[in-house]
Amino acid sequence: MTRLLIIGPPGSGKGTQAEHLARHFGVPAVSTGDIFRSNVSRATDLGTQAARYLDGGDFVPDHLTNALVKDRLLDSDVQSGFLLDGYPRTAPQVVELDNLLASRGLALDAVIELRAPDAELEQRMRRRAEEQGRTDDTVDVFRRRLDLYHTETHEVVSVYAGRGILVPVDGSGDPADITALAIAAVEKFLATPRA
């Protein structure tokens, strides 16, 4: 019954780490980015609405994101735990997630924060754009997302730090090393009794 959240700036490797951590802890990874991209590629109503924001490097508005995540967290495969990737990104989304979990008598167990220097993040984004050909990976879009992360998502990090459930992890270097560090940090955190 492990409920985790992974958070970090764009290009920090959240998606890669979420997959490895979810596998290790035996829970499904729930990625808003994947859900958005799936809806965009299938040209669903939500995807069409979301694409306008994603292509400009903006966050998809809270009401669209909240509805999407709420539906996903009601699926049967996440009832025994999950690892959220990309949500919540704003303070109002934290409130929405709190309410959703509280309505079922649940709460997050830990929030993993990946940290890496901006210059390294931009370098990773450029490499990812070349390898995957993602249209939303341009320098301007990346810098806009990074700016949004530092202004809006920083609030989210502060909320979870204040609750004492933030687990910072150095997100620089080799992905396998980062995974090992993150697993060790989360296991140590979960094993430590809290008052």
Question: Beta-strand (E) ranges in the chain?
Answer: 2-7, 29-31, 81-85, 110-115, 166-170
Binding residues for ATP: 11-16, 128, 173
Residue 120's nearest CA partner among 13, 7, 5 is: 13
Q: Which residues are known binding-site members for AMP?
A: 32, 37, 58-60, 86-89, 93, 134, 145
Instruction: Indicate the annotated binding residues.
Output: 11-16, 32, 37, 58-60, 86-89, 93, 128, 134, 145, 173
CA distances from 173 to 11, 170, 180 (A): 12, 8, 12
Report long-range pairs for 37-41 (Cβ below 8 Å, ≥24 apart). 39/68
Q: In what order do the strands lie in the sheet with 29-31?
A: 29-31, 81-85, 2-7, 110-115, 166-170
Asked if residue 6 lies in contact with residue 30, where contact means CB atoms within 8 angstroms, the answer is: no
Q: What is the DSSP letter of 105?
A: T
Beta bridge partners of 85: 6, 31
